[in-house]
Structure 1
Amino acid sequence: MVEGRNRRQALGWMAKGVAGGLAGTGALALSACGPKKPPLRPNLIIWHGFRGAEKASLEKLATIYSGRLKPGQRPVRAVAIPSDAMADKISASVPRGKGPDLFIFGHDRLGGWAEVGDTITPLDFFLDEATKAAFLPHMFEAVTYKNAVWALPFNYKSAALLYNKKLVAKPPETVEEMQDLAIKLTDQARGRFGLAYAYDDFFFHAALMNGYGGGVFDATGKLMLDDPRNIAASDLVQYWRRDLGILPDDPTSSLVASLFNTGRAAMIFNGPWFLGEIAPEIEYGAAVLPRITAANNRPMAPYLAVEAIFMSAGTHDPAEAWAFAKFLTSVEAAKIMAVEGGELPTLRAVYDVPEVAQNPIAQAYKTQALSAVAMPNLPEMTMVWSPADKAMKRVTKLETTSEAAWQDCQREVQAAILALRDGKAS
């Protein structure tokens, strides 16, 4: 899994430079001249932001694939790009004909690139229903924008429940069970907590928000941050903080890691990127997040972040690029990425491969993905993160009511979206 890497960097989220991502609200804006094609190179190039075992596994797949090519076909070269610089590099390079044939990146930037029209290529021509059905549910929701599929899902990440087996014999199935267990295991005077997670981080809070049936945008794309269901979700966090006292006061990621690694946090919400940071002496398990009885028994539904394979708009040979992308999502490739790279592939069949089927952590995250919600890929989503994080900090510091915090957030985000659209129109 991803080790020692900021979670947003690991997933390619929240890249800067969103101007140009709101080119219109109707048909996709296409460049008049189209992207420039790069000079024909001796290799098919794929950019990625992987490191360590993930990087080695992808490079191994490139070697395997290249070794099977017929004479005259271009071998694949995998090029590592720093993940925090990759989005800007793609946006700057591909339209000028200096980018790769393929690249792997988080699905959250998809809408902006699709609107610009000279960066990525839709893949519907290559896809059929049988191909789509081979993937886990929700994966193609993440890479679909305005009824077109713009990337091939490669791997995914979401939060789930991680628990210390010495403290928790059986993971809770409902919020009430989790609360009762957390109360028993909390001793604030000794710095022990039944539950710990970065609860003021909007990404982690989304599991409650979505579980209540709320969200950022409604089905028509209208902003709904001040929806009563979002307010109810924040009220629950305030209840945990103020009334039950089961959460630590300072919910930084470093504190959560320290508490869990020293046996002072029984349960945490975290993603697969955290697994490499768990101390070897901690015997831990993973399970799906509990159901919310007050929300018609709906499960908590964390955000699903999909790292997808994009085809550059300027690739010389789309069929050649697609062939390698398709190979990367084969059972053979998915097994290598899962077993050797520590990834969570999007392909259904890989979870039946013995080495993966016998991995309870991978199976738990797969099960969690079934109830997860794909992060919105609308260009406007980039305007949401900072104000939403600010709203959660106000809520969790008990500075204001949930209703006031989300009403203020709604106004701030709406104003930012309108200002950007007005600037593009002028």
Structure 2
Amino acid sequence: MVSTRTSDVPERAGSTRFDVWEPGRGSWWWFLRYRPGRAGRLLGRRSVPALGCAVAAGWAEAFPLVSDIPNQVFWGTTAAPAYALAGLFCLTLPRRIAYRAAAAVALLGAVLVPLVVLALRGLHQSEVMVVERSAHLLLHTGTPYLPDPVVVTDYNPYLPAMTLFGLPRAALGSSNPVALVAGDARIWFALTFLSCLLVCWRLLRPSGEGSALLSLAALTASPLIGLTLAVGGVDLPLIGVCCLAMALAARGRAVPAGLVLALACTLKWTAWPALPVAVLLLWRLYGRRPAARATLTAVAVSTAVILPFVLTQAQALREQVVRFPLGLTAVHTPAGSPLPGKILAGFGPIGHTISLTLLCLGGLAVALWLLAYPPTSAVAACDLLAAGLTVAFMLAPAGRFGYLALPTVLVLWPRLAAGALPFHRRPPRSPRPPVTTLTGIQL
């Protein structure tokens, strides 16, 4: 008996089918669906990237005026003129070089110059110092956590694998300018982020078409990533690793996906939702066995990394990794952007309880949506993960606007890689079948 059931599941890895041009299938981000014609013409105008550069310049210029954090003030001072010059290049240079020149000058002024200067001066946000100190503690005491934290900077809210990014500082020290820059954890945050996005592009790009350099340069130079990378950057590896995990799962690479997911799950516990999303993507596209292999790999490696610290440092893990980010310790996290969860927590114990309750309900709603509509592509999987993380960051008792870079990149980069945004060239159409007349002559 032949089944008449149709399936909307994309073909297996290695197929030439290009299904990403329907990003709405399995994805509720309907407002990012491809719109030929008007959207393509709009994004093809020079004024659109120039306007984006102007907005970025205004955003950067606001930091020297309103911020009292020296690192952010310095970033705004160098980034604002770079964005303004990039906008001028978009309008005046020949089209064949305009966008490359604009991306280059923005990357130089908003990322490279502030990053190198701040690294040479030893200036960074506190989380960079926490990561570098954790590596020193691990090498000398066997644990990355201080036993009795007293002030905010004594707390290490990261899982043990984050210590890897502090090892260059522990190995190179800070005795000369080269060691100051090469040992800075921000350099290794950025390299991990960029490497993961490049591999993700390679996996998702149809037939290997196009270069990732311009898109990656524009994304990195944007205020969304540029400011984070220059002054802190601790969340950048998590962004890259999550994108790469979804791309590997979409291509049926079960064991590599499991290893990448293990890395994500041992950096920060906020990455744990990536595991069920990637596993369901593998199950939907390739069946139960690849999904089981990825799950076993991720769980086994994560357990091997975390379990020794759970057995020996259970109190430190509970207080610093779980209770501190949730605002349940005597010393509160400095993350204090006016997001809904933070505002509710400001009303006292009742507001804090309401915030946690809403957080749990939001997570449950996203989980039910995931089970009801499992993803069928990397784009849809990243959308679902972005939705869950957005709910978590918005409703958590402590959070900052910078955390939203993770869901934003999850939504944008897979679409850029898959060519599912209107300013990318549409793949060639298949030839129309010939029309046969009644006399048998093909037209």
TM-score range, shorter chain: under 0.3
Question: Normalised by the size of structure 2, how large is the TM-score?
Answer: 0.24
Name the structure where helix makes up a greater proportion of residues. Answer: 2
Q: Which has the larger radius of gyration?
A: 2
Name the structure where strand makes up a greater proportion of residues. Answer: 1
